[in-house]
Amino acid sequence: MIDVWEHKEDCTGCTACQQACAHGAITMQRDAEGFLYPVTDADACTNCGLCEHVCPMLRADERPADESAPKVFALRHKDDAVLGESASGGAFTAIAEYVIKQGGVVVGCRHDKDMNVEHAFADTVEALRFMRGSKYVQSSLGDCFHTVRKQLQAGRLVLFTGTPCQVAGLNAFLHRPYPTLLTCDILCHGVASPALFSSFIRYAERVTHRQVADYRVRDKSLGWGHTLPRMDFQDGSHIKGGVAWLWAKAYGSTLAHRPVCYHCRFTSFRRPADLSIGDFWGIEKHHPHFIHPKGVSLVLVNSAKGQALLEAIRGAVLVQESTMEACVQQCLQQPVPRPVQRDKFWHDVQTLSFHRLCVSYFEWGFWNRFRKKLKSIVKRI
């Protein structure tokens, strides 16, 4: 039986234990920070131990160790329109479009109509556009794993994309490998609080007097590496920068990260998915001929399935083989450090208005801008 409230610092919230429980003894409940944690009803629990068996954090050290290092590639989509809409080089779109064209289904992250971040299913190319781009928020999985298993049992090709801990949770939940399952994890820098993101969206709507329809932390209209946060509204208008900066600042501070992210076990080249994708930062140093102003993806091939998938999409992408030394970044070496102010920040979340919170922690508001400008002038003088 899982009593996660005594071990919250180690829980990823992947829902594997809740979805594996056949007796309905486990429910997912939000804590004061807005993160979901499993809670066990002792009266309904049969002590079968299945919840502990599927927990990726308890099983993390039991993952089969592939002695060979992952193969490393730089990749970018041949379609410039796809590049512009993607967070990096369009690797996700190329992989997902291939799976759908094979009659498969893609499981990925998107915003729902209320701007909550959730995992959803797509079996058309048109539906993929809502899954592009990084969300920087922990997604709600619902009963996603159950649906994936039903699709696999029916013999359907399924691509599951998510954070490494979500992929590890799915693998543990399924108990056995499925030949038609493909998995892809993102190079994750930690997941932020859904509740705080919701507060940000509601605050932005109050400030702008418009209803938010979409939000991107990294709009690439100025080029990859020169991104601005973009917020789209229901009336068809949009803004870049301004209040849209707030979530980028909140995420970048790491104050809103889930506690387990500060000692994540998946920040290495040993990945739970067939493929791992992210931005190929620093590519100009190692493959300057391959750099593109709209972005380049880093792809780690971690399994034979992953290698076969990469070969299958070569018609849609350009690929450059690389090395582990060329692509090292923090999320492949160590977790983000826990901020000293984190406990104080979450105490203030409960007592301060969202505006005041942003003024105190994210340099928001007139006086913060004035002080920043004054410092700049003094420095020049």
Condensed to tens digits (0 to 9), the pLDDT of residues 274-329 reads: 999 999 999 999 999 999 999 999 999 999 999 999 999 999 999 999 999 999 89
Residue 272 has pLDDT above 90, yes or no: yes
Hey, where are the domains in the chain? 71-192+258-332, 194-256+340-380
Burial class of residue 81 in the structure, from the number of CB atoms within 10 Å of its CB (0-12 exposed, 13-18 middle, 19+ buried): exposed
Residue 333 is predicted with a pLDDT of: 93
Instruction: Report d(CA 127, CA 123) in Å as an integer.
Output: 7
Averaged pLDDT score across all residues of the chain:
90
DSSP notation for 274-286: SEEEEE-TTHHHH
Q: What pLDDT score was predicted for residue 370?
A: 56
Cα-based angle 191, 194, 195 (whole degrees, multiple of 5): 135
**What's 137's DSSP letter?**
S
Would you tell me how many other CB atoms lie within 10 Å of the CB of residue 195? 17
DSSP 8-25: GGG-----HHHHH-TTS-
Q: Which residue has tokens 């997604």?
A: 139
Residue 62 above 60 pLDDT? no
Give the angle 107-186-331 at the CA atoms, nearest 5°: 160
pLDDT, one tens digit per residue, over 92-110 is 999 999 999 999 999 999 9
pLDDT at 213 over 90: yes
> Mean of the pLDDT values across residues 21-35?
90
State the Cα–Cα distance between residues 267 and 352, nearest whole angstrom: 34
Q: How many C-beta atoms surround the C-beta of residue 124 within 10 A? A: 9
Quick one: fold of 71-192+258-332? Answer: Aspartate Aminotransferase; domain 2 (3.40.640)
Question: 339: pLDDT confidence band, cut at 50, 70 and 90?
Answer: very high
Please say whether the beta carbons of 59 and 168 come within 8 A.
Answer: yes
Phi, psi (rounded to 5 degrees) for 127: -70, -15
Beta carbons of 16 and 54 less than 8 angstroms apart: yes
